[in-house]
Structure 1
Amino acid sequence: VGAELRRQQLEPDVGTFSAAISALGAGREWRRAHALLEASLDQAVRPNVVAFGSALTAHGKGGAWAGALRHLARMQAAALRPNVVVLGGAAGALGDGRWAVAEALLQGMWADAMEPNVVVGNVVMNACGRTGQWRRAVGTLARMRAGRVEPSVVSYSALIGAKATSDSWPFALAVMDGLGSQAVAPSAQACTAALAACGLGGRWGRAMRLLAGMGGWMLTPNVVSYTAAVNTLRGGGDEWRLAFALAGLMRSTRVSVDS
């Protein structure tokens, strides 16, 4: 960008770089966004919060957490105060399980009297869930509520998925029951996560009731939902008959059994 502008005898400025970085971030081109931010520093153009935020968002979409943290450190060195977009992008880059750093970013937002949105909270909960830190996920949800950040169905899905153990089914079903009290409609993802929890605990009766109840929420089970339900039937006995019944139901709803 800088070289092209100079060829046209135009001087690149922070607005030009910010716009270009934003465009690259929207296209998930985090490497090029990173290179462009570096180029702006080489051109003695002082990037602003918008430029850093765009670059961090691009890094988040690409899962490039190390680069995101470097840019965050550069902002602090330049005495630029990160905003919700910047820290949300950094937290997104950490969403592959680096829960401790993601949680620290969220805690820092609250400490600085910022108001993190539900997307940032969900990213942290997902990061906790991917490493089995379900108590941390519960704590994040509680803090979101205390901070008047309304959890979404994605929040609850992340909460169910965070506790993927053989004794997690009561927890999963309690979360599903809590959705009704919070006036949040369950999603297919939340139901599937709860079905998987029932499967780990061998609670096929609970799973069948949950599967049957999806229609009441105007949800159509997909192959993942049915597979999770079938997995609860492991253990012998007459449950095999239900497995065949489920396979027939999948065919009647045009869900491929072999998918």
Structure 2
Amino acid sequence: MLGARVVPNQITYNAAISACEKGGQWQLASKLLSLMPEAKVVPNEITYSAAISACEKGGQWQLALKLLSLMPEAKVVPNEITYSAAISACDKGGQWQMALKLLSLMPDARVVPNKITYNAAISACEKGSQWQLALKLLSLMPGARVVPNEITYNAAISACEKGGQWQLALKLLSLMPGAKVVPNEITYSAAISACEKGGQWQMALKLLSLMPDARVVPNKITYNAAISACEKGGQWQLALNLLSLMPEAKVVPNEITYNAAISACEKGGQWQMALKLLSLMPDARVVPNEITYTAAISACEKGGQWQLALKLLSLMHEAKVVPDQITYSAAISACEKGGQWQLALKLLSLMPEAKVVPNEITYSAAISACEKGGQWQLALKLLSSMPEKRVVPNEITYTAAISACEKGGQWQLALNLLSLMPQLRILPDVVSYNAAMDAVSGMGVGYALFRKAFGLGMYPQFWSNSYSTINLHDMSCGAAVLAVRWWLAEVVPHLLSGPTTPKLEVITGWGKSRKDWRTTTDVQDAVFQLLQGYQFPSRIDQNNRGVITIDGRQLKSSELRRLFTPPS
């Protein structure tokens, strides 16, 4: 230009900076702005707006704010475009507080916010998980005489989705027709995602079914959200049905789609189907990632297929996919369920070499593997090694270690571990107490332990309709035996002294804890053997096989107290 004796002016610089902005060249835009004083060209609000917008597109929120702060010194007044660009820069940079600060400064600067300004501020709140603030801004728009559009609603619905407010997300969607705003595929995807996060798979599918009537075409994100909703809701068949519909809808699935579908199969106990989906991915030109493999390994773990889980782990190295903490935890858990404690410990030992740091879930699975393999010493060794690895044990870790001690006949160690938990600010749960009571069910100390657990509210269902009926749900065999012994010693004698002899019932449950080939449950077996051992008149109720009935007429209070009250 200088060779042609054409001197650049304000318009030329503005056009050049704007071109840099559109081309994503924030450094060049900033450089051009800095050259203007030397060229004796005065920047105006268009210049600054374009430069700030270039910074926004380049993710340079600090520089965008720096330029905005320089404008008064340059005697250039920012306008709504300048502020919108700066707020957008804050939005992209995850700076929701700064975005709101800029919005609040606009009235003093006598700049009226417009639709773009509000949209950027609401989007910043959405990214910052500030759903209340996003909705507050939306509610302020009518008063500011700014009409929201689909971008506004999309950002607000997304904010509700991130905040777990699925009802509010659907409320906003329902308000759009009244506001004469037409929802698009982004709106529906955000609303379906909100339903997914809220565990509302039926509502997610309902929204998906409404899209054709609204003349909105579902895209990849919409289908992914709907499949993920089915996955979280345990609806693996529906998840697979949605996946099968995608080619017909001319929507190409990606790794997120397959990950959600494989996870749905994992949750539904369909390990074969999970592996089938994994095998179909290369033909669909979709590359599995660590999430895909982890979901497939978890499916094998739940299906008791430890060999396949380890095979998948070995395939990851060939596919140059790096296993993470969750992958190793799932593989170790698969070994645990398969009774392969040596392999579980081998995997744990390989993690440092793979630069993967084990967490409490990994250790819990490894300790459980030792427990199942009768290796209580190794279980305790793993537990004691956790502090030096900077891994904090939780109640699951301690419960696994207590169970290992129980199986190894180390009841003192089991009780010691249970007593240590509160000191380490780990609250024992019902499973922890069950494991400890399994270790001491035949001892006087067990009786005291049951009373403690019961007093702490570990078994809220214990009393059914009256003191003559007890409910042993959520109890292990040891806990159930101790509960029945306590009931017979301390409660039943009072019932027998009444004017009428009550019908005594023990609800042991029937279903989930029973194997298909069994006619009783483990808990029922343990309780029934206890009663039969003392020749108490008891039977399994033929009308409800989850109940043991005891004929109270043949029981004597003095005998019950003598038999079941432990020495003090």
Instruction: State TM-score, norm by structure 1.
Output: 0.89
Distance 1:206 1:123, change over 3 A: same
- How far the C-alpha of 1:245 sits from its partner, in A, is 2.5
8 Å CA contact retained: 1:63, 1:92: no
Give the unaligned 5+ runs of structure 1: none
8 Å CA contact retained: 1:17, 1:51: yes
8 Å CA contact retained: 1:202, 1:234: no
In the other structure, the counterpart of 1:144 is: 281
Which segment is superposed worse, 8-17 or 25-34? 8-17
Q: Does 1:211 align with 2:357?
A: no
Distance 1:219 1:11, change over 3 A: closer
- Matched residue SS, 1:220: coil
- How far the C-alpha of 1:248 sits from its partner, in A, is 3.1
Alignment of 1:222-241 (within 5 A): 222-235=359-372, 239-241=375-377
Alignment of 1:52-201 (within 5 A): 52-96=188-232, 97-165=234-302, 167-201=304-338
8 Å CA contact retained: 2:329, 2:362: yes
Question: What CA deviation, in whole Å up to 9, does each residue of 1:34-85 have, x standing for no partner?
Answer: 0011111344543222221221222222222122111111102223210011
- How far the C-alpha of 1:162 sits from its partner, in A, is 1.1
Distance 1:9 1:248, change over 3 A: closer
8 Å CA contact retained: 2:336, 2:372: no
- Distance in 2 between residues matched to 1:258 and 1:114, nearest whole Å: 44
Question: What CA deviation, in whole Å up to 9, does each residue of 1:138-186 have, x standing for no partner?
Answer: 1222222221111111111111111335741101111111111110111
Q: Does 1:23 align with 2:155?
A: no
- Distance in 2 between residues matched to 1:13 and 1:227, nearest whole Å: 50
- Matched residue SS, 2:173: helix
Question: What CA deviation, in whole Å up to 9, does each residue of 1:96-145 have, x standing for no partner?
Answer: 21111111112212333322221221111111111101112112222222
8 Å CA contact retained: 2:269, 2:303: no
Distance 1:6 1:196, change over 3 A: same
Give the unaligned 5+ runs of structure 2: 1-134, 396-568
Q: Which amino acid aligns with 2:204?
A: A
- Matched residue SS, 1:146: coil
Distance 1:80 1:207, change over 3 A: same
Distance 1:190 1:235, change over 3 A: closer
Distance 1:26 1:232, change over 3 A: closer
Which segment is superposed worse, 18-27 or 83-92? 18-27
8 Å CA contact retained: 2:270, 2:303: no
- How far the C-alpha of 1:228 sits from its partner, in A, is 0.7
Instruction: State TM-score, norm by structure 2.
Output: 0.43
- Distance in 2 between residues matched to 1:63 and 1:227, nearest whole Å: 28
- Distance in 1 between residues matched to 2:257 and 2:314, nearest whole Å: 24
Q: Which amino acid aligns with 2:348?
A: L
Aligned to 1:256, which of 382, 392, 395? 392
- How far the C-alpha of 1:236 sits from its partner, in A, is 6.1
In the other structure, the counterpart of 1:32 is: 168
Among the aligned pairs, what percent are the same residue? Answer: 33
Q: Does 1:41 align with 2:186?
A: no
Distance 1:144 1:113, change over 3 A: farther
Q: Which amino acid aligns with 1:223?
A: E
- Distance in 1 between residues matched to 2:242 and 2:393, nearest whole Å: 43
Q: Which amino acid aligns with 1:135?
A: Q
Between 1 and 2, higher relative CO (CA 8 Å, sep ≥ 6) is seen in 1
Which segment is superposed worse, 247-256 or 78-87? 247-256
- Distance in 1 between residues matched to 2:266 and 2:225, nearest whole Å: 19
Distance 1:12 1:225, change over 3 A: closer
Higher helix fraction (1 or 2): 1
- Matched residue SS, 2:202: helix
